Amino acid sequence: MVDMHGNSPKSLRQDLLAQRKRFAASVGYSTIEESVLAELASFLADHDAQVQSIALYCPIQDELDLRPALLAWAKNNPDKTLALPFARPDKHLDFYVWEEDDLLIPSRHGVPEPDPNNPRRPQITPDCILIPCVGWSQSKVGDKTHYWRLGYGGGYFDRTLAQLRKAKPNLLCIGIGFDWQKLDDAQWQAQTHDEPLDAMLTESGLVITY
């Protein structure tokens, strides 16, 4: 269970990031990391027909690194495409095709990003977006379970998903995290502007809303 010092999302976020740093340095971390990657491989196999392109992320602040697993997936499936996000000044994300060894440029937040002016790497709307979570929660509305992401507070993904889902209703948005990051209502509740995740992937497996 996550400790809470104060009730603000900012202090909760700081606690979670500090805990993730300790967790990533712990003895059992590599085993849990392998479990998440194995669950990711199962998801890719089960959704082969549905997912032709995946947007991932360059890990920062001890986020789980999915790049080796997804590069191997793309190498074994030449018809599949990987993409990385580029943060626009208006706090929306665009996604550009990414291949190993591409030159990436640090954003003002220190996140390695693709070069949007590279003519060999077009902008795409991916079928699936993998989104790292600082924390996450679930709530039930009727018979349907929703999963929610606590991020870094910039709102980039919420704005982007709200826009992309209008153009691509079957877009699949999956949160990436660990079981211990799950928050209860007393710790954090999603706000009206928060976009729900379609699924949550942790070491326990993939939980999906359909």
- Residues annotated within the binding site for substrate are 63
3-state SS of 167-189?
HCCCCEEEEECCHHHECCCCCCC
Question: Nearest CA to 118 among 94, 135, 137, 149?
Answer: 94
Nearest partner of 112 among 67, 146, 178, 51, judged by Cα: 67
Q: β-pairing, 172-176 with 199-202? A: parallel
Binding region: 63
Q: Is residue 78 exposed (0-12), middle (13-18) or buried (19+ Cβ within 10 Å)?
A: exposed
